[in-house]
Structure 1
């Protein structure tokens, strides 16, 4: 099989179990596209469900899970680099590849080959800019962009002081370290979207949240805090880690944590679907399959698509 398969879907859609079942039938390896499952020791809250990677006693190889320490801020540029390294290795070994995850930006970036530049934070520069007004920052940014022959993007670069400072940081880096545009290759992929009924998704999210709390999600977050990770760094990761941390440090009661987190996950799933629908508007072809269909039918559906493509 020359073309990679990509399986996307909102949280609680069953995309991982689908991907692993499909991988088992075709000897494929899975590359994760999840912005939080990259972190070690963040297992229950990110829904790694590593047991899904064992099918009938056989372990399905997976990549880009548990690769960085919690407390760090892994970013899209790093993911793109890590994906390309794994993808090249698997292609060289002629292994079938399945990309699976719910982080739409990660999926789109590697499929389209976004050209990104690594720009580290400049602490000294940030300190010099900290007390400047948005108008002053805008003026500095406009000057830098003129020198770099780059353009303002609908003023979204300067809608807040934080965004303006980051934009200045990027332009300053580009001015001091001129680098050619780094074109990344696009990846040809058959994209399968797992479509789950909204009410079914809501019920599954609530059931899964209750189960994860019973499985020790609070203890998992407490252990991360006890290891020395500051609360603000866990709150940065959002969803489970934000709300459970706030509960542990006394900002939320258990009931407030549960209700707030439940609502946040529902909203997150809705945003995921909005992104995937946006991908279709941006030119991606997504073949949607009903999450409620039996696994054998879903696998057969993909095999039929692959067969049709090979004969056209």
Structure 2
């Protein structure tokens, strides 16, 4: 179950897991980090929903969500690290006679786990990455076009982290990379949640506004006090703007406005990525019969229809 941020993927998946005896495996590149609960959307918006935290999973409303809290924010936790954990969890769910629901908005993580995107055995070159960290995404695209134009066919051109990694691989002169992860090979049903752009942007704005009531400033302050200020996850979506406010670089109004702008851009990138997958059946979250429609679609898949 995939789709842009703030489309209610997890809450719908929990209801469906209750119907189909399922468990959730998160597919979110930020939810793997410990202590980052509010800004990543791990913590449910309903304060009455019972949450029990375990080792690498949360239990929400009686349904386990795997692949949460796998690493500290300072860890070099890669997509391959995620895929290995997610594969193991998915296979465990199936062995126990349950239905696995892979749920999230990080398309690259989903595609690597399911074998739709290749991964490389080339180790990180931190000196090389440092030399590119201040270069714009536009300039990184130009560099990659010179080194490996084919890589541009399957990469988010607005994501500097992905672009630098692609340049790193190309620079290592290993264009035919060695696979280091054997993906899942089970039959897969792709369900996408979406709405009009205006609705998606409005829901993103509401998510950002609600963060203050839910304690995002306190969460960011905790992360800063515990030495995570300069970690990569805190330089990402949502957190970077609230870190800037916390250290006095921006006003709260400026941080909120920028966080909303960044969220809109992220939603556009997510849609671009997911729309490449022609196997996705899309459902409009504005429809009153959303849950029933998705449930019927899943039942048909499980029945082999």
When normalised by structure 1's length, the TM-score is 0.75
**What is the CA-CA distance between 1:92 and the residue it aligns to?**
1.4
Q: Which residue of 2 aligns with 1:19?
A: 13
**Matched ranges for 1:271-310 at <5 A:** 271-280=269-278, 285-294=279-288, 297-309=289-301, 310=303
2:65 paired with 1:62: yes
Compare the two structures and name the one with the higher helix fraction. 1
Q: 2:247 aligns with which of 233, 243, 249?
A: 249
Runs of 4+, deviation exceeding 6 Å: 178-181
Q: Which residue of 2 aligns with 1:261?
A: 259
Q: Which residue of 1 aligns with 2:78?
A: 75
SS at match of 1:303: helix
Q: Which residue of 2 aligns with 1:34?
A: 28
SS at match of 2:149: coil
Alpha-carbon deviations, 1:212-234, whole Å to 9, x = none? 11221011111101001233545
Q: Distance in 2 between matches of 1:182 and 1:301?
A: 35
Aligned residues, how many? 271
- Kept in 2, the 8 Å contact 1:113–1:186? The answer is no
Q: Which residue of 1 aligns with 2:94?
A: 91
Q: 1:45 aligns with which of 34, 39, 48?
A: 39
Q: Distance in 2 between matches of 1:227 and 1:89?
A: 34
- The 1:251–1:99 alpha-carbon spacing in structure 2 relative to 1, beyond 3 Å, is same
Q: Distance in 2 between matches of 1:84 and 1:28?
A: 15
Structure 2 residues without counterparts, runs of 5 or longer:
52-59, 133-146
SS at match of 2:98: coil
Q: Which residue of 2 aligns with 1:190?
A: 189
**What is the CA-CA distance between 1:250 and the residue it aligns to?**
2.2
Q: Which residue of 1 aligns with 2:168?
A: 166
2:210 paired with 1:215: no
Q: 1:101 aligns with which of 100, 104, 110?
A: 104
Q: Which residue of 2 aligns with 1:146?
A: none
When normalised by structure 2's length, the TM-score is 0.77
SS at match of 2:282: strand
Larger Rg: 1
Structure 1 residues without counterparts, runs of 5 or longer:
1-6, 132-151
SS at match of 2:189: strand
User: How large is the RMSD of aligned CA atoms in angstroms?
Assistant: 3.3
